[in-house]
Structure 1
């Protein structure tokens, strides 16, 4: 019996060395969680059960427990590198099976799908139709768009101007955009876009009338009038009072490019009549041309954006994180992934930075949780345990040999 007891000790020390060796081997593995060998003592049962003075029968390896503590987050500067700061696992689809990982060193394949180096695809909540949030009722593969961003036709031009209060009506009449002396001020050209992304120029000309606090605005697109002149009136304190909401509907313009009808509005709200000089305080429009993909960015709540050269952003999905009641019950699958078991409990999936789910840090990776110094100490301890149990076998052999030699 004593030989078996010491042999169980050797096996336990060897298992401890194996666990320590695996930890040391993965000291630089992204998202790796160190393991700990856990042991239990053994007792032999008789037909009468265990005696109060029973001597133990050795030791057994009861569990190899992975320690799901937070690893250090190290910046990398690479867009598709991600780290989870807090609870949760990346949700992956590997050949149709659901697996989970803390390693965020993702990359794209030839079709633009984002996944791990071994091909497991990152799962996200897809955007809803119309771009209003995400469909949290289902998950799908994250695929980066490789096509251009389509153009957006201009619908509104926003101008905010300050017209000079002391200006007199122009001496040259009638108004002619080619004659600078026939108008008091101009907004300059605002670039607008038709449905094909072709640029056009919208210009507003301001003409002071003979009536105090009254102006007329003439609107042109590509040098052609876009409607009749519109009267602007200001209060004696300089605020725009007519039109009341500051909005002017421009006449439809049919571009020669073959694009659809360009129907725009002009918003002058916030414009004033002060001082002695014309000022263009704001000039914006809501259209843009087609754009090339510039970069992929990821927010703390896991929303993946495609950013284009035309300034447009497109949300491609929101990363789905998964947590478990008992992460210790997960089954390691290799390649930095785990699979659920009945011991781990039912997976619960949600969005980052909500409930108890951690945040996403883009351009960073979670390092291994292995403390190399601690593992070297464990190695020395396991080695001495191995030697001590081996010495016990040697001692027991000598005792047995002595008994055999008794005459």
Structure 2
């Protein structure tokens, strides 16, 4: 026995206690990963023919590795918090720098320029969203969430899913001509909201009157109570379109569509040229109008032997909206919510994966850097390849088992005491040898 084995054991046990202490200190650190000391024995190789009988020279620290197991995910009240469920790391970078760092800590904030940043000011990386597809694409860059509102969109298409009562009888000769103000001149009606070029709301009403032709209905329209198309002085309102149904009650699109002033049918959608006022001031609104076409689809209309009903109303217009909040879905798409009810994709968060996670080097502030041992990062959208999914409004806790660490600390303390005892024993042996007479 020599002092060397005991000293190496003391050093290894002390290092183990340091790592355990660091784990305990970071038990509540979001995204922190447990570290583990890995030991290796030491043997002298000078006398190869005696290596099997060598007692060994002690112990050494082979590595301090981090265990990248999944931590538990807990919900928070902050919509900017994000948790990774599965493999992957958030990519972050200092403003203006290409060098990236990686983290599992999803505590992000909005800075004064609306960038998503870590607590240390590093910006979260992601992709811009293609408005036509709603998916992220392009070059990886800083995620900036605009705080501006969105402009209105005029209604250009709309769709009505209705059922017209097949039990309705053909109009009698005594039935009055259609009139907006006479409910006996039509069978049923419904209304929907549409938007003009300035985002002002208007009410588009449609009225349905059965014709003498079997399975055929005329469609009349009004905007804010005014006939569309407008009625000439002393004239009667003309139908804007016609709906024809097959024997099974489904709409016959080849015989349905718009009607012009001569009664000529143009098959397809019922196209209405809506006369929006050019200004809402003064009160009452200006009589000057600007025309905007709306294609009204009745492809889901039916004629069954049941009461009139509306099953679906859609239109593509909306008024102006102010930003009210954000949310993140499982694929990393950051959805911006607006006061007009619209939800638009603002950006997509990117995640990075590494062939060898153990090769990453921790640099503090919950960050890791890539090394040659880790390999280059494979960056993509969450949920693709080997990457996990995102959960918005949640955080990943550390994967450190506090109870296990306390037990390991007791074992490490015992190991330290035992190695100290070997040194004490060696000292007693030398003292006995020196005191021989």
Same fold (TM over 0.5): yes
For residue 381 of structure 1, what is the aligned residue in structure 2? Answer: 411
Q: Please say if 1:60 is aligned against 2:60.
A: yes
For residue 284 of structure 1, what is the aligned residue in structure 2? Answer: 314
Q: Which moved more, 1:197-206 or 1:17-26?
A: 197-206
TM-superposition CA deviations, 1:201-256 (whole Å, max 9, x none): 21222233344443322222233333352333334554433216651111253432
How many Å separate the matches in 1 of 2:49 and 2:16?
Answer: 28
Change in Cα spacing, 1:130 to 1:233, as seen in structure 2 (3 Å) is closer
Q: Which moved more, 1:238-247 or 1:391-400?
A: 238-247
- Of residues 109, 130, 133 in structure 1, which corresponds to 2:132? 130
- Of residues 180, 183, 186 in structure 1, which corresponds to 2:186? 183
For residue 23 of structure 1, what is the aligned residue in structure 2? Answer: 23
Q: Which moved more, 1:266-275 or 1:343-352?
A: 266-275
Change in Cα spacing, 1:279 to 1:86, as seen in structure 2 (3 Å) is closer
Query: What secondary structure does 1:368 align onto?
Result: coil
Q: Please say if 1:304 is aligned against 2:303.
A: no
CA contact (8 A) 2:124 2:143 kept: yes
Change in Cα spacing, 1:272 to 1:93, as seen in structure 2 (3 Å) is same
Q: Please say if 1:355 is aligned against 2:385.
A: yes
TM-superposition CA deviations, 1:120-149 (whole Å, max 9, x none): 2211121125345221x4212222231123
For residue 354 of structure 2, what is the aligned residue in structure 1? Answer: 324
Unaligned stretches of 5+ residues in structure 1: none
Query: What secondary structure does 1:134 align onto?
Result: strand
TM-superposition CA deviations, 1:309-362 (whole Å, max 9, x none): 322111122221111111111000111110001111121112211221111122
- Of residues 241, 244, 248 in structure 2, which corresponds to 1:233? 244
CA contact (8 A) 2:115 2:143 kept: yes
Unaligned stretches of 5+ residues in structure 2: 230-237, 258-266, 281-288
Q: Which moved more, 1:223-232 or 1:360-369?
A: 223-232
How many Å separate the matches in 2 of 1:170 and 1:301?
Answer: 62
CA contact (8 A) 1:323 1:347 kept: yes
Query: What secondary structure does 2:132 align onto?
Result: helix
Query: What secondary structure does 1:124 align onto?
Result: strand
User: CA RMSD for the aligned pairs?
Assistant: 2.5
How many Å separate the matches in 2 of 1:129 and 1:273?
Answer: 38
Q: Please say if 1:243 is aligned against 2:256.
A: yes
Q: Please say if 1:154 is aligned against 2:167.
A: no
How many Å separate the matches in 2 of 1:59 and 1:247?
Answer: 83
Q: Which moved more, 1:22-31 or 1:395-404?
A: 395-404
Change in Cα spacing, 1:260 to 1:57, as seen in structure 2 (3 Å) is farther
For residue 204 of structure 1, what is the aligned residue in structure 2? Answer: 206
- Of residues 286, 293, 301 in structure 2, which corresponds to 1:271? 301
How many Å separate the matches in 2 of 1:233 and 1:45?
Answer: 97
Q: Please say if 1:168 is aligned against 2:179.
A: no
Query: What secondary structure does 2:312 align onto?
Result: strand
Query: What secondary structure does 2:129 align onto?
Result: coil
Query: What secondary structure does 1:353 align onto?
Result: coil
Q: Which moved more, 1:364-373 or 1:14-23?
A: 364-373
Change in Cα spacing, 1:257 to 1:131, as seen in structure 2 (3 Å) is farther
CA contact (8 A) 2:336 2:343 kept: yes
Query: What secondary structure does 1:382 align onto?
Result: helix
TM-superposition CA deviations, 1:53-75 (whole Å, max 9, x none): 33322222221011111112222
CA contact (8 A) 1:192 1:202 kept: yes
Shift of 1:80: 2.0
